[in-house]
Structure formats: structure tokens, C-alpha cells
Amino acid sequence: MSETKLVAELRTQFGKGAARKIRRAHKIPAVIYGHGAAPVHITLPGHDTMMALKHTNALLTIEVDGTEQLALAKDVQRDAIKPVIEHVDLVVVKRGEKVTVDVPVHVEGEAAAETVVTVDAQTLQLAVEATHIPENVVVSVEGVPAGTQVKAGDVTLPQGAELVTDPEVLVVNVTAQVSQEALDAELSELEAEAGIEHEAPEAPAEGEAVATAAEGEPSEG
């Protein structure tokens, strides 16, 4: 995974008003901490930070007053409506040390015909070297039949990665595709068990039938 360098500024003003002022200047308030050091409040460049954090588990080189530190984004607070990052928590990491991260699951290939592939776990938690965080873990379902289940312990991990997620967690489930006829039959069975009856359409009253018939006859004369 490539590293992205961000040049930060020390932040001395705090509170909601100060944070709004920072964001109006197209910057992002942040805090960097870890390895026993006191938290350092900083301001990050807005555009470069947003581009860097588009990548999951992006490894960042943060430069503050000429000093560089490697860091990972621990928590990213985003605006609920606008595409704006409101605050970032960064944790310091060291080269060679292992970190625990959530890595996305990527499913590739096509399962056997008339099957449905469901991804039950979107991510797996792995312990990996800070400078070798994989972008994803790949699960192939190429040609697998219905009834196939891939658990966390079955997934092939990148070299050096250790699984933190419970190995029995279901990651991918391949089931048989259910036809509309089978769904209708199951629904009818459930309705019958519940005592639900559908009323037949009402037949027209005798007078209404006669009137309708009379209206359809040609008039004499």
C-alpha cells in the first residue's frame, strides 16, 4: 500500500466555532495520538485528506513542524448530508509493527447457475504490518454449487496477515435460487397454516344481471 503525505498545522483553538472556521478555510480539524504520546491537535489540508481517505486503511505520513509520523485514520466523522469530513482521529503507527484493521471482502467469479450469492461479512478483521495493509481479501465463488458456505477461517489471507475475526463467522453463502412458483406455494402454505382465506369475487345480484342483459339487447321498433 502506498503512503500519502499530508502537511499539517498545529491547532491552538478549539470548540465548535473554531472547527467551523477551520472547515470554512477548506481544512479539517484532527487529532493524532498513540505510542504513549500526548494527543496533538492539528489541522489537515481538506482536499488532499479527502482524496487520501477514499482508500480504506490509507497509510498517512503526517508532517507537523518538520517532523514526520506514520498514522492510520482511526475514526473519520463525516457530515450527514454534504460530502465533507468534519474531524479525523489519527493513530500513530511504526514500521514493522502489526496493527488490527478491518479489511473489505471482495467476491469474484460466478457461482453455478440458478444460485444466489450472499455476502454476510463485508469485512474481516486482520492483524497485519502497518506498512503492508491489503486493500481487500478475495473470495472466489467461480462455479461453486448451491449449499457452499465460506467461513472466515476458509479465506486465503495475504502473506503475513493473521485472522482476528472468529474463524466460524460466515462470510459468503451460496444458496439455490427460488422460483416464483415455489414462493407462491410457500406463501399459500403459510396463509393456510395461519387460517387466512381469500374471498371469491362476489357474483352480481340477480336484478343487476337482468338489467345488464337488457341493456345489451337491441331495442325494438
Tens digits of per-residue pLDDT, 135-164?
Answer: 999 999 999 999 999 999 999 999 999 999
> Could you tell me the residue ranges of all domains in the chain?
3-93, 100-176
- Which pLDDT score is estimated for 221? 47
- Which pLDDT score is estimated for 196? 76
**What's the pLDDT band for 101 if we cut at 50, 70, 90?**
very high
Architecture of the domain made up of 100-176:
Beta Complex (2.170)
Exposed e or buried b per residue across 35-71, where buried means at least 16 C-beta atoms within 10 angstroms of its C-beta: eeeeebbbbbbbeebbebbeebbbbbebebeeeebbb
- Which pLDDT score is estimated for 11? 86
CATH of domain 3-93: 2.40.240.10
- The grid cell for 178 is 427460488
Residues 126, 83: Cα–Cα separation, whole Å: 29
Tell me which range, 67-76, 119-128, 194-203, is most confidently predicted by mean pLDDT: 119-128
Run of H or E including 101:
strand 98-108
Q: How many C-beta neighbours within 10 Å does residue 8 have?
A: 24
pLDDT (tens digit, 9 = 90+) per residue, 34-67?
888 889 999 999 999 999 998 889 899 999 988 8
From the number of C-beta atoms within 10 Å of its C-beta (0-12, 13-18, 19+), residue 210 rates as exposed
* Contact status, residue 44 vs residue 30, Cβ threshold 8 Å: yes
Per-residue pLDDT for 214 more than 60?
no
Look-up: residue for cell 509493527?
97
Amino acid making up residue 140: S
Q: Dihedral through CA 19, CA 25, CA 29, CA 32, nearest 10?
A: -150
From the number of C-beta atoms within 10 Å of its C-beta (0-12, 13-18, 19+), residue 154 rates as exposed
More reliable by pLDDT, 207 or 59: 59
- Which pLDDT score is estimated for 205? 60
Residues 43, 48: Cα–Cα separation, whole Å: 12
Nearest to 158 by CA among 139, 137, 172: 137
* Contact status, residue 52 vs residue 6, Cβ threshold 8 Å: yes
Residues 131, 1: Cα–Cα separation, whole Å: 7
- Which pLDDT score is estimated for 218? 53
Asked if the domains 3-93 and 100-176 are classified in one and the same CATH topology, the answer is: no
